[in-house]
């Protein structure tokens, strides 16, 4: 099957259980799948695609089902975790490969870790950005989230009610996204926690106003907002609406470790990292193949966009450890 050059990214559609998945690929070499989180798209990896391609990898950034140009099934339960694992397997097959390394951020990290857990025959290593690995099991997720926040409501519970978050976001997608990105980025974080909603309020009530984080240009925001203005938010939000289904579907994997070689990178100012500090401490048992773990001081949630050069360096160092030394097809062994 023809592959892309290290120079030009290529957009393509491939078949999957969702119907079709849109992806952007660049480079030749060992396959690395890049999985974005909420509320993003393949575009979250725009800084990593050329860097990984130049380092000798076939980098593929996927629009997860429900996002961008990928299919958006109407049924809520079509967004359960095992369906997303099946999508990742379908991408590997459609690209003519037998295995891949997974790199995920935010929800993409959880999708990547679960894919590695369920299909170790296909996914030989996994890098997790922002959200640590926590094995399946424990209390029912909706019950846990309902107890969080005290008099306020945790954002996951807010997202889980069909139509509720859509009614807040869709009248002003661009403005909402700008505020959400700013609220979770190191240089624009507000003083009050944006993950909680006052009773009768909106999530955006605590977002910064008229400020963009340093990593997000107006043109970048146009790209990100344009996708959601076209697709709506329901496909993306349906991921949150399947967490109890995932808990049931993955019951046989309760407490199971991910044993493949792994990497974790978190932001020192990211709530995803600080809330789940116990999960990071448990890595010797839950990620026994962990080769490196990094907490980036002064970094927020959107690691690969806030600190692209640092993330690229850490990923490439880890990939060379996992895949062995590789060289770009258009460069000799002296390339760095």
- Distance of alpha carbon 138 from alpha carbon 133, whole angstroms: 14
Contact 326, 155 (CB under 8 A): no
Contact 67, 231 (CB under 8 A): yes
Beta carbons within 8 Å of 29's beta carbon, 6+ residues apart: 56, 57, 58, 323, 326, 328, 329
Residue numbers annotated as active site: 106, 301
Beta carbons within 8 Å of 274's beta carbon, 6+ residues apart: none
- Distance of alpha carbon 131 from alpha carbon 162, whole angstroms: 24
Contact 94, 14 (CB under 8 A): yes
Strand 19-26 vs strand 58-62: parallel, antiparallel, or unpaired? antiparallel
Strand 58-62 vs strand 31-35: parallel, antiparallel, or unpaired? parallel
Contact 81, 111 (CB under 8 A): yes
- Token reading at 188: 């624009």
Phi and psi of 256, rounded to 5°? Answer: -75, 140
Strand 100-105 vs strand 123-129: parallel, antiparallel, or unpaired? parallel
Contact 87, 17 (CB under 8 A): yes
Q: Which residues pair with 109 in a beta bridge?
A: none
The helix (run of H) or strand (run of E) holding residue 225 is helix 218-231
- Token reading at 34: 């890049």
- Distance of alpha carbon 277 from alpha carbon 172, whole angstroms: 34
- Distance of alpha carbon 336 from alpha carbon 333, whole angstroms: 8
């Amino acid at each position: 099957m023809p592959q892309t050059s290290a120079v030009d990214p290529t957009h393509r559609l491939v078949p999957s259980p969702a119907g079709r998945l849109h992806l952007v690929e660049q480079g030749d070499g060992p396959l690395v799948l890049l999985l974005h989180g909420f509320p993003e798209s393949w575009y979250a990896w725009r800084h990593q695609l050329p860097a990984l391609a130049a380092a000798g990898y076939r980098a593929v950034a996927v629009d997860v089902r429900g996002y961008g140009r990928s299919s958006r099934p109407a049924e809520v339960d079509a967004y359960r975790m095992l369906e997303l694992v099946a999508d990742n397997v379908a991408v590997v097959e459609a690209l003519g490969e037998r295995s891949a390394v997974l790199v995920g951020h935010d929800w993409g990290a959880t999708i990547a870790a679960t894919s590695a857990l369920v299909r170790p025959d296909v996914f030989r290593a996994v890098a997790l950005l922002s959200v640590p690995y926590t094995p399946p099991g424990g209390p029912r997720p909706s019950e846990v989230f309902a107890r969080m926040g005290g008099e306020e409501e945790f954002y996951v519970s807010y997202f889980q009610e069909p139509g509720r978050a859509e009614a807040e976001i869709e009248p002003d997608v661009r403005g909402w996204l700008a505020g959400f990105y700013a609220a979770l980025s190191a240089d624009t974080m507000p003083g009050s926690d944006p993950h909680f909603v006052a009773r009768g309020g909106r999530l955006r009530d605590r977002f910064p106003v008229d400020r963009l984080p340093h990593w997000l240009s107006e043109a970048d925001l146009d790209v990100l907002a344009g996708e959601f203005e076209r697709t709506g938010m329901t496909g993306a939000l349906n991921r949150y609406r399947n967490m109890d289904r995932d808990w049931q579907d993955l019951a046989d994997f309760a407490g199971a470790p991910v044993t493949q070689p792994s990497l974790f990178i978190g932001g020192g100012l990211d709530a995803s990292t600080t809330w789940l500090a116990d999960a990071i401490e448990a890595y010797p048992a839950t990620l026994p193949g962990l080769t490196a773990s990094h907490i980036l001081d002064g970094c927020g949630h959107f690691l690969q966009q806030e600190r692209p050069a640092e993330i690229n360096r850490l990923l490439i160092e880890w990939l060379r450890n996992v895949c062995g030394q590789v060289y770009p097809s258009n460069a000799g062994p002296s390339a760095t």
